[in-house]
């Protein structure tokens, strides 16, 4: 083989990068024999076997080779280099040689290939890949694929819902179209025991998703260049370097037209009609068919999303009840009436909230106070406790449901070590170490010291970028202070709002600052997301995890940390920092020695937190829908019109799929991330926004169908992958659930006015602190406002003379301090310490009660249902019987010739003794 073949391609199509540098980057050293049991290297300078090219047979719906017998398990697409320009011929020839070696390696492994010219572009060639029966059996054993051994003979118990079957059947897919899959006991496939498995038809024994998974396993490890012990391999590298344009399994038909071929399952069409179509938004998902068509990994995602959405329906009903309760009580709230009363709130002069602000009357916040009653009431307290219990029920019930799916989908014994190593990991295995479990020497990409260095660099980089996110949040806080200061100065003497009487009362410095800061915060969040995505991927690639599961778990943790700080830090600031360390108007706290620390809106910080959540949740939902629906649709339509020189029905199946968009390498990662971030908004800050579950429910009802529509109509078929659960997202959800109890308790204690009202109602409204005979909320507003003498303002304070209150030498502010003239003036009074003690007691009591309830629920609800345990035990028993009987037959078969030989010798000896006696 010539040395040209050993040169590296560039990552781009033009090949203008320095080839020597690329050769250093792609230094793939690995012993592929460890991972491909039928692998044998092609000797250098050996004549390579070429792929046979055939003409298109005008059967656009066919999923087979031209002979109509061999099924297409995978498609490879490339452009013919011989039809390219001469100026790039040297680059294209290197790619051609590598592709020819790669395809020859596949055929030597036992794969069968057939090439067909494109019907649209004569430069594009499609290579069809088929795996024969023997090869399928080999790699089914390598990948521990579980297959049927016997039909399930355990009778199913009727469920509670079966009683209401006449009603519930309308919420399930049409059973005449999507029939229930038969249930089998399964066991890992073993090639030497093929006769013991439940095989009716060899062509249908391994499902298309199984065949595609095994084909991709081989494609990911087949070599395209070998020199001594250095082997360069994998379809991924060939795709990145432009040797191939695409590699994908086939859809079985068009999504909206039934296949003309006989006996085709048309599963894609069924999924579109009964799952992806928007008219089915109220129906349950056909999870078994999704798993069969796309694999367990996609199936478990949609199962989790559907279960989460179903549980959200319960939370949404309770949240709406809480909202309507607050809406109903806003007109009857005693403290809200006092704010709006001209004789009470209309006569209370409030101190300016900044050095350039005006005095203002308390009743100017009448509408804000009524709005606050909707979200800050006793129903909110009940709802926050309910959501803490709800999240526990959700996680525990999901574990049970997940256990059922694990058994039904044969992933119960899917262990992490069964996952094959990533090709990128295999390519760097240059060191030897002794496996502490098996005691066998194995190849690893780095030493123990090298691994520590990589992890240290990764952790340090993650912490650095998290600090950068926090720095952006601080900059937004400075923006809020500067804008509030500027608007207060501009609007102090401005008459620009004279003609805007309907909205004049709403255009305040506080409201303008809050809304603009929320919008800017959202924009910054979306920009940082794109940046941190690349950073997280780079760090994870640098760490070099062994399996794809390890890779996704590592990336998941990093991305969630970034997103957690990015999305939630502004909410945490408003809930727990803003307005907490402001001093009092006579001695305010200044940031950077210039900007007076930001106070809450006159209606309280709870309204601002609700505004922030609404902007982020709403903006995120709109942006995600644009990304997930509009962009793929526009790309596909543009591609269709650019290359639509042939009528679509005349294009073969593989070329129709080639027009579709390719799935991201990270697959479902962003779908999970989107939902987990939403889960955080629903649970962490639900005490301030009881409508969050309802909004999340509406979004998820569309999200399920949008994702289904996207996967079914706009993207190529994904390579099926095995998955036992939702991976690293499970502990992340549990961590968020635990944190949610603390955040909601603290929101009610420190951000809401719930505790001060309760303290006043039960202690300070009656004797010895109050003048009322019975417990009441009357007088609460007056007790919650402290006095300040106008003469005691800070020296930095300046105010418009016309804004100074007439016939008044004092103003009021929200705090619990002694009045001027008292020997402890402006120090915290007794009510303040009662409120603080009540807040701390509330947090401790609520947290302990909720955590104890969560512990009881997690203990009472078993993770695996009893019926599933029975089925697992039955399956293990049958597997042991099968293996025992097979081994017994082998031993008997081997011992029988020896026993026959010994019997024959004994007979001969008896005959000889009889002859001697005669």
Residue 433 has pLDDT above 80, yes or no: no
Residues with Cβ within 8 Å of 148's Cβ and at least 6 positions away in sequence, in order, are: 184, 185, 186, 197, 198
Count other Cβ atoms within 10 Å, centred on residue 1: 16
> How far, CA to CA in Å, does 446 sit from each of 34, 383, 896?
18, 52, 52
| pLDDT for res 111 | 92
Q: Give CA 646 to chain center in angstroms.
A: 39
Helix (H, G, I), strand (E, B) or coil at 766: strand
Residue 18 has pLDDT above 80, yes or no: no
Low-confidence winner among 103-107, 352-356, 358-362, 836-840 (lowest mean pLDDT) = 352-356
| pLDDT for res 307 | 95
Higher pLDDT, 264 or 315: 315
| pLDDT for res 306 | 94
Q: How many residues does the chain have?
A: 918
Hey, which of 32-46, 144-158, 271-285 has the most confident mean pLDDT?
Answer: 271-285
Low-confidence winner among 299-303, 344-348, 793-797, 813-817 (lowest mean pLDDT) = 793-797
| pLDDT for res 469 | 76
**Rounded to whole angstroms, how far apart are CA atoms 735 and 728?**
11
| pLDDT for res 14 | 38
Mean pLDDT, residues 123-140 taken together: 92
Residue 41 has pLDDT above 80, yes or no: no
**Burial tier of 526 (Cβ tally within 10 Å: 0-12, 13-18, 19+):** middle
Mean pLDDT, residues 191-218 taken together: 88
Residue 17 has pLDDT above 60, yes or no: no
**Rounded to whole angstroms, how far apart are CA atoms 400 and 396?**
7
* Average pLDDT for the chain: 79
What single DSSP character describes residue 762? I
Residue 33 has pLDDT above 90, yes or no: no
Of the pLDDT bands very low, low, confident and very high (cuts 50, 70, 90), residue 483 is: confident
| pLDDT for res 890 | 60
Cα-flanking dihedrals φ and ψ of residue 900, to 5°? -65, -40
Laid out side by side, the sheet with 112-117 consists of: 53-54, 112-117, 124-130, 74-79, 246-248
The DSSP element (H or E) to which 872 belongs, if any, is helix 866-917
Q: Do the Cβ atoms of 545 and 428 come closer than 8 Å?
A: no
Residue 517 has pLDDT above 70, yes or no: yes
Residue 4 has pLDDT above 70, yes or no: no
Residue 125 has pLDDT above 80, yes or no: yes
Cα-flanking dihedrals φ and ψ of residue 817, to 5°? -135, 160
Low-confidence winner among 511-515, 838-842, 895-899 (lowest mean pLDDT) = 895-899
Low-confidence winner among 92-96, 130-134, 552-556, 801-805 (lowest mean pLDDT) = 801-805
Q: Do the Cβ atoms of 234 and 221 come closer than 8 Å?
A: yes
Q: Which two tokens stand for residue 221?
A: 């490890």
| pLDDT for res 417 | 43
Mean pLDDT, residues 15-41 taken together: 43
| Residue given tokens 């649709």 in the structure block | 633
Helix (H, G, I), strand (E, B) or coil at 443: strand
| pLDDT for res 244 | 93
Residue 802 has pLDDT above 60, yes or no: no
Of the pLDDT bands very low, low, confident and very high (cuts 50, 70, 90), residue 664 is: confident
| pLDDT for res 617 | 82
Count other Cβ atoms within 10 Å, centred on residue 298: 23
Is it true that the peptide bond before 768 is cis, omega within 30 degrees of 0?
Answer: yes
Residue 246 bridge partners (DSSP) = 77
Q: Do the Cβ atoms of 494 and 473 come closer than 8 Å?
A: no
Low-confidence winner among 59-63, 77-81, 366-370, 635-639 (lowest mean pLDDT) = 635-639
Mean pLDDT, residues 142-150 taken together: 85
| pLDDT for res 1 | 36
| pLDDT for res 88 | 58
Low-confidence winner among 123-132, 533-542, 622-631, 649-658 (lowest mean pLDDT) = 622-631
Of the pLDDT bands very low, low, confident and very high (cuts 50, 70, 90), residue 21 is: very low
């Amino acid at each position: 083989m010539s040395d040209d073949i050993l040169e590296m391609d560039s990552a781009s199509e033009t090949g203008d990068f320095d080839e020597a540098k690329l050769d250093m980057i792609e230094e793939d050293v690995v012993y592929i024999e460890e991972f491909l049991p039928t692998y044998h290297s092609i000797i250098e300078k050996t004549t390579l076997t070429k792929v046979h090219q055939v003409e298109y047979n005008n059967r656009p719906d066919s999923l087979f080779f031209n002979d109509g017998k061999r099924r297409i398990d995978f498609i490879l697409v490339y452009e013919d280099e011989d039809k390219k320009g001469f100026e790039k011929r040297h680059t294209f020839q290197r790619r051609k040689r590598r592709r020819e070696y790669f395809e020859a390696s596949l055929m030597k492994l036992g794969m069968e290939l057939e090439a067909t010219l494109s019907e649209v572009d004569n430069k594009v060639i499609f290579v069809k890949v088929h795996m024969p029966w023997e090869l399928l059996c080999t790699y089914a054993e390598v990948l521990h694929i579980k297959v049927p051994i016997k039909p399930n003979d355990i009778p199913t118990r009727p469920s509670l819902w079966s009683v209401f079957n006449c009603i519930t059947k309308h919420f399930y897919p049409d059973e005449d179209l999507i029939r229930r899959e038969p249930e089998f006991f399964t066991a890992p496939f073993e090639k030497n025991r093929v006769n013991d498995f439940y095989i009716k038809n060899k062509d249908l024994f391994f499902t298309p998703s199984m065949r595609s998974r095994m084909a991709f396993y081989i494609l990911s490890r087949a070599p395209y260049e070998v020199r001594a012990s250095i082997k360069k391999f994998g379809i991924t590298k060939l795709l990145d370097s432009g040797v191939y344009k695409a590699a994908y399994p086939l859809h079985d038909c068009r999504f909206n037209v039934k296949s003309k071929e006989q006996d085709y399952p048309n599963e894609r069409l069924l999924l579109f009609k009964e799952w992806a179509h928007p008219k089915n938004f109220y129906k349950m998902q056909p999870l078994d068919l999704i798993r069969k068509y796309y694999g367990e990994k996609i199936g478990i995602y949609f199962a989790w999303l559907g279960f989460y959405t179903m549980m959200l329906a319960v939370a949404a009903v309770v949240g709406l009840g809480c909202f309507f309760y607050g809406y109903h009580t806003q007109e009857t709230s005693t403290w809200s009436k006092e704010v709006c009363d001209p004789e009470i709130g209309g006569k209370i002069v409030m101190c300016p909230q900044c050095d350039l602000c005006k005095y203002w009357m308390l009743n100017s916040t009448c509408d804000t106070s009524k709005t606050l009653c909707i979200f800050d009431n006793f129903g909110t307290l009940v709802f926050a406790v309910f959501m803490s219990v709800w999240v526990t029920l959700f996680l525990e019930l999901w574990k049970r449901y997940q256990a059922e799916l694990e058994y039904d989908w044969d992933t119960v014994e899917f262990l992490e070590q069964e996952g094959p190593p990533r090709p990128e990991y295999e390519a760097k295995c240059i060191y030897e170490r002794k496996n502490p479990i098996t005691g066998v020497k194995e190849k690893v990409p780095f030493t123990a010291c090298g691994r520590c260095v990589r992890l240290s660099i990764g952790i340090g980089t993650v912490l650095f970028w998290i600090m950068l996110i926090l720095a952006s949040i601080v900059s937004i806080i400075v923006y809020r202070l500067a804008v509030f200061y500027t608007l207060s100065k501009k609007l102090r003497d401005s008459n620009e709002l004279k003609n805007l009487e309907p909205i004049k009362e709403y255009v305040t410095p506080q409201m303008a600052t809050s809304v603009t800061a929320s919008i800017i915060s959202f924009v910054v969040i979306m920009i940082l997301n794109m940046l941190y995505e690349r950073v997280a991927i780079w760090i994870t690639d640098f760490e070099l995890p062994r399996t794809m599961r390890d890779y996704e778990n590592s990336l998941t943790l990093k991305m969630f940390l970034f997103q957690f700080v990015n999305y939630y830090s502004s909410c945490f600031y408003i809930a727990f920092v803003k307005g907490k360390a402001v001093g009092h108007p006579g001695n305010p706290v200044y940031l950077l020695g210039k900007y007076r620390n930001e106070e809450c809106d006159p209606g309280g910080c709870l309204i601002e937190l609700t505004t922030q959540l609404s902007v982020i949740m709403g903006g995120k939902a709109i942006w995600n829908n644009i990304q997930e629906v509009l962009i793929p649709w526009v790309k596909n339509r543009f591609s269709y019109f650019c290359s639509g020189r042939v009528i679509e029905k005349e294009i073969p199946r593989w070329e129709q799929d080639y027009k579709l968009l390719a799935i991201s390498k990270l697959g479902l990662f962003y779908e999970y991330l989107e939902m987990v971030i939403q889960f955080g908004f629903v649970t962490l800050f639900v005490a301030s926004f009881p409508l969050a579950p309802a909004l999340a429910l509406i979004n998820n009802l569309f999200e399920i169908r949008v994702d289904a529509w996207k996967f079914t109509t706009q993207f190529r078929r994904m390579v099926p992958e095995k998955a036992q659960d939702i991976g690293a997202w499970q502990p992340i959800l549990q961590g968020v659930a635990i944190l949610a109890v603390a955040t909601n308790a603290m929101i009610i204690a420190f951000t809401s006015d719930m505790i001060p009202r309760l303290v006043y109602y039960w202690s300070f409204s009656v004797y010895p602190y109050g003048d009322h005979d019975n417990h009441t909320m009357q007088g609460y507003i007056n007790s919650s406002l402290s006095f300040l003498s106008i003469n005691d303002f800070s020296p930095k304070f300046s105010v418009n003379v016309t804004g100074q209150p007439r016939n008044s030498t004092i103003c009021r502010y929200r705090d619990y301090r002694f009045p001027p003239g008292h020997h402890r003036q402006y120090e915290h009074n007794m009510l303040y310490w009662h409120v603080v003690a009540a807040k701390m007691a509330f947090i401790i009591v609520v947290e302990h009660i909720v955590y104890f309830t969560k512990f009881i629920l997690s203990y009472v609800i078993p993770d695996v249902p009893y019926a599933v345990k029975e089925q697992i035990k039955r399956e293990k028993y049958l597997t042991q019987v099968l293996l025992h009987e097979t081994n017994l037959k082998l031993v008997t078969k081997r011992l029988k010739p020896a026993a026959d030989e010994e019997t024959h010798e004994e007979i001969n000896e008896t005959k000889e003794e009889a002859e001697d006696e005669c």
